[in-house]
Amino acid sequence: MGCGALGSVIGAHLARLPDVELYAYDVLAEHMRAIRERGLKISGVADFTVRLNATSEPSEIPPCDFGVFATKSIHTRAAIEQTAHVFGPSAAVCSVQNGLGNEEMIAERVRYVIRGATGLAVHMREPGHAGIEFYGDVWIGPFEPSGTPYSLVEELAVLMNRAGLHFVPLRDARGAQWTKLIFNSAANGVGALTGLHHGAAARFVPTAALYEALLQEGEVVARALDIVLTSDPRELVAEGARAPTKRYASMLVDVLAQHPTEVDFINGAIADHGEKLGVPVPLNRAVWQLLKGLEHSWSNPS
Amino acid sequence: MGCGALGSVIGAHLARLPDVELYAYDVLAEHMRAIRERGLKISGVADFTVRLNATSEPSEIPPCDFGVFATKSIHTRAAIEQTAHVFGPSAAVCSVQNGLGNEEMIAERVRYVIRGATGLAVHMREPGHAGIEFYGDVWIGPFEPSGTPYSLVEELAVLMNRAGLHFVPLRDARGAQWTKLIFNSAANGVGALTGLHHGAAARFVPTAALYEALLQEGEVVARALDIVLTSDPRELVAEGARAPTKRYASMLVDVLAQHPTEVDFINGAIADHGEKLGVPVPLNRAVWQLLKGLEHSWSNPS
């Protein structure tokens, strides 16, 4: 569900498994048509093209055992409304999306939900063609309130790893999700507001200091929620900054295209949690306020 | 010194006084040529054109009794280096610029310095033509470390008011300067990062909340410095938001033209004072960091 860069890369890998019947769904009809007509192409550290079913018509999708949500978080609610009928009472739907709150929305319509966070570095090249810069891990675990059996998490990980991806099943994926979330609060928030690619923002002294302040704010919120991060978000910052290419945060890509960003699900979500817990979150709140203001400016308000 | 919107409006008014010999100085030679050839035009709530001496050549300026600095703060140091020879031991130079730190730079080269802050609403239309939206007050007072006689402050105010401007002489102009500074920290900081005109930013709930948080941060710093504001900066916010036209903060105008902003002298100055005093200033520091990052992005860093 959602066939942008991340959904395309995951879908293309799965489509190479002869025993998997795969449907790609996205609301962008011309994108789906490109995949149907020319196949789905992946290039970068992997290079191949596959054929798969691709549709913008939810009624064309048969019942599925697993779903993988890779839409922008702002489209999760609409996508699950459109596709909930695909998932029967034993099916499980996994979010590999950015930010917080996607699993909750999916769980309103689907019995079993799997929490996920991804370290894949991918980007869209054109309709039907996505790039992959490296195979990062994808961490998945049961979405706690839905009581998803851990065996379903393991089954999905085995499937994905047979397809050549690096899925890591965890009893509790919240630490991995928050590690990525806190990294994103800095890399996406600062990138979107400054126009700097990640490496430049991480090296330039003023923005590096703001990265650090945002990371610290998020870490205090995670601790207050009893969430143990799986690694230091600074390692993700450093790893991304070493990349030989200029990496534009996905929210910066959105800003440049004047598309609504995922800030509600990243900095906004951290700020909401912090304020509920009485933990100071002025910087995540300010990044949220500034990006909401920037998005508002595109409507040319009176 | 500095013949942008503010310098043009002040200079044009002074040029109407028959007993004043006035020299306009700006580094933009084509702008000075336009003034020499066609005069300096003011339109808006006032409408007139005047002839005056205009030059980009400091050696053409004779000794002057008063100087008025209206450059962007980032050009103050260069401008006083170029023109210090104009001001003898009894001359006084008044800054009517945005932000903090201009008087200090001028005082390194000039005996008597006058602190100023302006409520004039002006904008540049084209070389040799500035608009004025309303006659706000201009508050002036002795720059404390230079021991400027108050009589010089009064003499300058009398001159300016004879010219039709609204200058208010004060024994201590720091409160007026900080009132404007704190207003600017919100209006300029938020405007420059969001692209919103002032009225829209002041009305949109998320950015209005950030305005308020920035105002509060600045007020705490002013209190820690024993500076008594002359009015509530929220009145300046409300007054500007009532304007019938869309007012773009000067730092937003700079951002749109990819010119360096005055953020060092506005949010950066408040953050520096706060950090020195141990007063928390995360939001002014973050606005400074983000704008430095945005300016850095224009150099297309590797």
Query: B67 and B102 in one domain?
Result: yes
Question: Do A237 and A124 share a structural domain?
Answer: no
> Same domain, yes or no, for B159 and B213?
no
Residue B15 located in a structural domain? yes
Q: Do B193 and A293 touch (CB under 8 A)?
A: yes
Which value, in Å, is the radius of gyration of the alpha carbons in chain B?
Answer: 19
Query: Which residues of chain B are within 8 Å of residue A284 when distances are taken between CB atoms?
Result: none
pLDDT (0 to 100) of residue A141: 98
Query: Which among B188, B194, B198 is the top mutation candidate for probing chain A, defined by the most A β-carbons within 10 Å of its own β-carbon?
Result: B194
Chain B neighbours among A 278-297 (CB < 8 Å)?
282-283, 286-290, 292-294, 296-297
Q: Is the pLDDT of residue B92 over 90?
A: yes
A31 membership: H or E segment, kind and range: helix A29-38
CB B31 within 8 A of CB B3: yes
Average pLDDT, chain B: 96
**pLDDT over 90 percentage in chain B:** 96
Residue A302: its chain B contacts at CB < 8 A? Answer: 199-200, 246
| Least Cα separation, residue B254 to chain A (angstroms) | 14
Query: Nearest Cβ partner of A289 from B207, B288, B296?
Result: B207
The verdict on B204 touching A (C-beta cutoff 8 Å) is yes
When scoring B242, B289, B298 by the number of chain A Cβ atoms within 10 A, the one with the most, hence best to mutate, is B289
**Would you call A194 and B290 a contact, using CB atoms and an 8 Å cutoff?**
yes
For B209-246, give the DSSP string.
HHHHHHHHHHHHHHHHTT---SS-HHHHHHHHHT-SSP
Closest residue in A to B196 (Cα) is A297
In chain A, % helix, strand, coil (3-state, to 5) comes to 50, 20, 30
Residues A235 and A116 in one domain: no
Taking contacts as CB-CB distances below 8 angstroms, the residues of chain B near A292 are: 204, 206-207
Residue A301 lies in a domain: no
Quote the tokens at residue B193.
Answer: 């990062």
Rounded-to-integer distance, Cα B6 and Cα B170, Å: 21
Residues A134 and A189 in one domain: no
Q: What is the pLDDT of residue A8?
A: 97
Q: How far apart are the C-alpha atoms of A252 and A179, rounded to whole Å?
A: 20
Ranking A122-131, B196-205, B286-295 by mean pLDDT, the lowest is: A122-131
Contact pairs from chain A to chain B, CB under 8 Å: 107
Q: Is the dihedral of CA B189, B194, B198, B204 positive or negative?
A: negative
Q: Are residues A150 and A185 in the same domain?
A: no
Of A257, A264, A253, A256, which Cα lies nearest the Cα of A291? A264
Give the pLDDT confidence score for residue B259 in this predicted structure. 96
Over residues B231-277, the pLDDT tens digits come to: 999 999 999 899 888 999 999 999 999 999 999 999 999 999 999 99
Among B204, B283, B290, whose Cβ lies nearest the Cβ of A193? Answer: B290
- Which residue in A31, A247, A27, A275 sits closest to A129, CA to CA? A31
Establish if A236 belongs to a structural domain.
Answer: yes
Are the beta carbons of A193 and B294 separated by less than 8 Å? yes
- Per the CB < 8 A criterion, the answer to whether B110 and B84 are in contact is yes
From B267's Cα to the closest Cα of chain A, the distance in A is: 13
pTM over 0.90: yes
Please report residues of A whose CB lies closer than 8 A to that of B267: none
What CATH code is carried by the domain that includes residue A158?
Answer: 3.40.50.720
Report the pLDDT value the prediction gives residue B243, as an integer from 0 to 100: 85
Measuring CA to CA, which residue among A137, A190, A144 is closest to residue A168? A137
Q: Is the pLDDT of residue B206 over 90?
A: yes
Ranges of chain A whose pLDDT falls below 50: none
Same domain membership, residue B274 and residue B180: yes
Determine, yes or no, domain membership for A10: yes
Is A302 a member of any domain? no
A200 with B296: Cβ contact below 8 A: yes
Last residue of a domain, one of B119, B141, B169: B169
Q: What is the dihedral of CA B274, B279, B284, B288, to 10 degrees?
A: 50
For residue B213, is it left (φ>0), alpha (ψ between -120 and 50) or beta?
Answer: alpha
**Contact: B296, A194; criterion CB under 8 Å:** yes
Q: For residue B220, which residues of chain A lie inside 8 Å, CB to CB?
A: none
What are A176-232's pLDDT values in tens digits? Answer: 999 999 999 999 999 999 999 999 999 999 999 999 999 999 999 999 999 999 999
DSSP element (H, E) containing A295: helix A282-297
Residues of B in contact with A297 (CB under 8 A): 194-196, 200
B157 and B180 belong to one structural domain? no
**Tokens representing A165?**
């991806």
**How far is residue A133's CA from residue A131's CA, in Å, rounded to a whole number?**
7
Residue A239 burial (CB count, 10 A): 14
- Of B123, B143, B169, the last residue of a domain is B169
pLDDT of residue B121: 87
> DSSP 3-state assignment of B174?
helix
Residue B129, both tokens:
């033509």
Q: Is residue B191 part of a domain?
A: yes
Chain A residue with minimal CA distance to B202?
Answer: A293
Specify whether A116 is located in the same domain as A30: yes
Task: Enumerate residues 6+ apart whose C-beta is below 8 A from A278.
Answer: none
The answer to whether residues B24 and B61 touch, using CB atoms and an 8 Å cutoff, is no
Say if residue B274 is in the same domain as residue B143: no
Q: Does B302 fall in a domain?
A: no
Residue with tokens 């600074």: A234
Q: In this structure, are residues B124 and B145 in contact, taking their beta carbons and an 8 Å threshold?
A: no
Q: What is the pLDDT of residue B244?
A: 85
Structure tokens at A285: 């709140």
Provide the token pair at A30.
């011309």
B window 206-265, beta carbon within 8 A of A? 206-207, 209-210, 213, 246
For residue A221, being part of any structural domain is answered with yes
> Which CATH number does the domain housing residue A178 bear?
1.10.1040.10
pLDDT confidence tier of residue B194, bands split at 50, 70 and 90:
very high
B185, B205, B210: best to mutate for the A interface, most A CBs within 10 A: B210
pLDDT at A94: 98
* Nearest Cβ partner for B195 among A200, A210, A297: A297
Please, where are the H alpha helices in chain B?
A: 5-15, 29-38, 76-83, 102-107, 150-162, 174-194, 198-203, 205-224, 233-241, 250-256, 267-277, 282-297
Interchain pair B204, A296: CB under 8 A: yes
Please report where in the chains the tokens 């998945």 appear, as a residue. A140
Nearest to A98 by CA among A172, A189, A14: A189
Interface probe with A: pick from B198, B294, B296, most Cβ of A within 10 Å: B296
Beta bridge partners of B152: none
Asked whether residue B132 falls in the same domain as residue B197, the answer is no
Q: What range does the domain containing A226 cover?
A: 174-296
pLDDT digits (tens, 9 = 90+) for B30-77: 999 999 999 999 999 999 999 999 999 999 999 999 999 999 999 999
Query: What single DSSP character describes residue B45?
Result: S
Domain end residue (candidates: A112, A135, A169): A169
A158 and A193 belong to one structural domain: no
Q: Tell me what pLDDT residue A121 has.
A: 87
The pLDDT tens digits for B9-31 are 999 999 999 999 999 999 999 99
Q: What is the pLDDT of residue B257?
A: 96
**Residue B245's pLDDT is what?**
85
In chain B, how many domains are there?
A: 2
What pLDDT is stored for residue A244 in this prediction? 85
